[in-house]
Amino acid sequence: MSTTPAATLAVVDLGSNSFRLEIGRVEGDQIYRLDTWRETLRFGAGLDAQGRIKTSAMKAALQCLARFRERLAGLHPSAVRAVATNTFRVAKNAREFLPQAEHALGFPIDVIGGHEEARLIYLGVAHELPRSLEPRLVVDIGGGSTEFIIGRGLEPERLESLKIGCVGVTQRFFPGGRLTAAGFEGAETAARVEIEPIAREFGPGHWREAYASSGTAAALAEILEQNGFSSGGITPAGLARLKKRMLAARHIGRLSLHALKPERAPVLAGGLAIMAAAVAELGIDRIDPVGGALRLGVLYDLLGRTIDADVRGVTVARFVDRYSIDRAHAARVAALAVVLFRRALPSANAESVQLLRWAATLHEIGMSVSHIGFHKHGAYILQHADMPGFSSGEQSRLALLVFGCRGGLAKVEAALDDSPMRVQLLALRLAVLFHHARAAIALPKIRLKVARRIALAVSPRWLAAHPLTAHMLEKEYAQWEALGYPWKSPHR
C-alpha cells in the first residue's frame, strides 16, 4: 500500500435521514473540508409495512447517488469510501438494492454495523475537539439509530448503538406532524426503555464531558440558544421549554422558531424526544454540540488506510492474541495463500490481497471453540464479532473464506460465481492443504493459473515424497471438477 496519502479524500454517508457527500484535503495528518453536499431524503421513512425499501425511495436514492457520482469523478477508488447505516442494516431488500446503489454512485458501498458506526463517529468527534485524556461521552442521534460512546483522546472505550432514531420516532409518535402531550410522553418513554439498559455503563460516573454530534444536536442547540430557551448547550430545562412551545403550536407546520430550518422541522419532535430521554437516563446536566462525527471519522479512517495505519490490521492482531491463534502456522498459510492468489490473478487489487491475508491469518480462530468443525465456528465468530474497521460486507467475506478454507466445497458453491472470491478460496484452500502438517517444511515451487481450467503445477518428485499431500490434492481436484471447474495438472 502507498505510504503517501492521497491529497483529496471523499466520503459518502447514506443515512436514514439524509445522504451526504464530504470531500477533504489532506495536509500532513490533518484533514480540512473542501466541499460538502447534503440531500434530505428521509430514506428511513421509505420502508413499507414489511420492512422493504419502497420503489419511490429507491428512485430518489439512485438519483441522489448519480448526482454525487458527478462530483466524485476523477477521484481514485482508494480515495473514496461510501458507508450505509441503519436503514441498509434493517431493510429486508437492502441486499437486492445495494448493487443498484453502487452502480449509480460508481463506487462500492459498505454497510457498517452499529458498533463500527459508533467507532467512526467517535473518531470524527475526537479530531474536532482539543486533545484531552479526560473521559468523554458522545451521543449521536441519527435518523434510524442513536450511538453512545465513551472514550479518551482518540480511543473509544465503550460503544453502543440503539435502534432509535429521529425519523422512526417521529413517524411512530407524531404522525402527520401532530404535536401532542401523549405523543411526547410515548416517544420519550420508548426512548428511555431503549436507553435504560446501558445507563449504568454510560452514566455520569464514567465521563467528565458530554458532547452531542449529528444534525439533530446542532439544530437543537441552535434553536435553544436563538430562542432564549438556554444560555448555551443543550440542557434538560431548555428541552422542556422547547417542548412546551411545540405543544402550544400543536402541529409542526404551525411551529415558528428562530433557527428552525425547513429540512429539520419534520423530524424535530423525534430528535427532541430522544435527546430528552438520553439526558434524563444518563444524568446529563448539559451536553454541548460538536462537529465531526461519522463523515469526518470515515475520512480519518480512510487516511489511516492510505498511510499503512489501517485499524483493521490492529483488529486482526488483537483477534490473534484474544483467540490464541498459532502465529507461525497462520503466517505460513497466509504467505502461501497470497503468493498463489497473486500468481493466479495478477490483476487483483491490494484490498483483495489484504482481505485474503487476514482470512488466512484468522482461519483457525474457531479452534478456540473446538477443533472439530473449527472452520464453521470461525466463520460464525468473524460474521458476528465486533471488528473495528471492518464493514459488514468485509466481515461476511472473511467469514465465507474461513468457512470454505477446508472440507466440502459445495457449501460455498454460490460464492464461486464471483471470480475474485473463487480464486481467493482456491488459494486459501491450497495453502491450508500444503501446510496440513503444521510444520515449517520446504515447499516446492507451485505454479497456479486460472483460466478456462485451473492449472496447478507441482514437482512430481516432491509429491512422490509427500503421498498424503498428493492424495489430498486428488480429492481437491475432484471437488472442484464436480462443481464444473475442471483442472489441468501435469502430474496427474
pLDDT digits (tens, 9 = 90+) for 93-121: 999 999 999 999 999 999 999 999 999 99
**Alpha carbon distance 239, 216 (integer Å):** 13
Tell me what the pLDDT averaged over the chain comes to: 94
pLDDT of residue 1: 42
Q: Does 133 score more than 80 pLDDT?
A: yes
Region 394-402 average pLDDT: 96
pLDDT recorded at residue 490: 54
Give me the residue label for grid cell 441486499.
Answer: 95
The whole-number average pLDDT for the span 431-449 is 92
Q: What angle is formed at CA 335 by the lines to CA 330 and CA 341, rounded to 5 degrees?
A: 120
Task: Round to whole Å and give the CA distance between 407 and 149.
Answer: 41
pLDDT computed for residue 29 by the predictor: 83
Instruction: Work out the percent of the chain whose per-residue pLDDT is above 70.
Output: 97
Rounded to an integer, what distance in angstroms lies between the CA atom of residue 24 and that of residue 35? Answer: 7
Residue 33 three-state SS? strand
Q: Exposed, middle or buried, 76 (CB in 10 Å: 0-12/13-18/19+)?
A: exposed
First to last CA, the chain: 39
181 C-beta neighbours (distance < 10 Å), count:
9
pLDDT at 48: 96
Whether 4 shows a pLDDT value over 60: the answer reads: no
Upper half-sphere CA count for residue 359 (Cβ side, 13 Å) = 35
Is 14:85 a contact under the CB 8 Å cutoff?
A: yes
What would the pLDDT profile of 147-194 be if each residue is shown by its tens digit? 999 999 999 999 999 999 999 999 999 999 999 999 999 999 999 999
Sign of CA dihedral 339, 345, 346, 348: negative
The pTM score is 0.81
What pLDDT does residue 2 have?
Answer: 44
The confidence band for 452, taking pLDDT boundaries of 50, 70 and 90, is confident
Give the three-state DSSP class for 251.
strand
Stretch 24-32: mean pLDDT: 89
The pLDDT, as a whole number, for residue 76 is 92
Q: How confident is the model at residue 27 (pLDDT cuts 50, 70, 90)?
A: confident
Query: Is a pLDDT exceeding 60 seen at residue 23?
Result: yes
Residue 206 confidence (pLDDT) above 70: yes
Per-residue model confidence (pLDDT) at position 309: 73
Give the Å distances, CA to CA, from 367 to 315, 326, 371. 18, 10, 5
Predicted confidence at residue 3, as pLDDT, reads: 44
Q: Among 127-136, 207-216, 218-227, 256-265, where is mean pLDDT lowest?
A: 127-136
Mean pLDDT of 200-212: 96
CB 89 within 8 A of CB 142: no
- Residue 483: which pLDDT band, with cuts at 50, 70 and 90? very high
- What is the CB-side half-sphere exposure of residue 161 using CA atoms within 13 A? 19
On the question of pLDDT at 5 being above 60, the answer is no
pLDDT at residue 308 tops 90: no
Which residues neighbour 390 within 8 Å (Cβ) at sequence distance 6 or greater?
116, 312, 315, 398
pLDDT of residue 116: 95
Q: In this predicted structure, which of 44-48, 361-365, 488-492 has the lowest mean pLDDT?
A: 488-492
Instruction: Give 342-396 pLDDT, tens digit per residue.
Output: 999 999 999 999 999 999 999 999 999 999 999 999 999 999 999 999 998 999 9
Average pLDDT over residues 42-61: 97
Alpha carbon 152 to its chain's center: 22
Lowest mean pLDDT among 200-204, 303-307, 394-398, 418-422: 303-307
Pairing of strands 288-289, 447-450: unpaired
The pLDDT tens digits of the residues spanning 236-290 come to 999 999 999 999 999 999 999 999 999 999 999 999 999 999 999 999 999 999 9
Q: What is the DSSP string of 302-345?
A: HHHHHTT--HHHHHHHHHHHHTT--HHHHHHHHHHHHHHHHHH-
Q: Which domains does the chain have, with CATH numbers?
A: 8-112+296-304 (3.30.420.40), 130-289 (3.30.420.150), 310-440 (1.10.3210.10)
Can you tell me the mean pLDDT for 326-341?
96
DSSP state at residue 43: G
pLDDT at position 124 is: 95
Read off the pLDDT of each residue in 309-334 and give the average, rounded to a whole number.
Answer: 93
Rounded CA separation 134/113 (Å) = 27
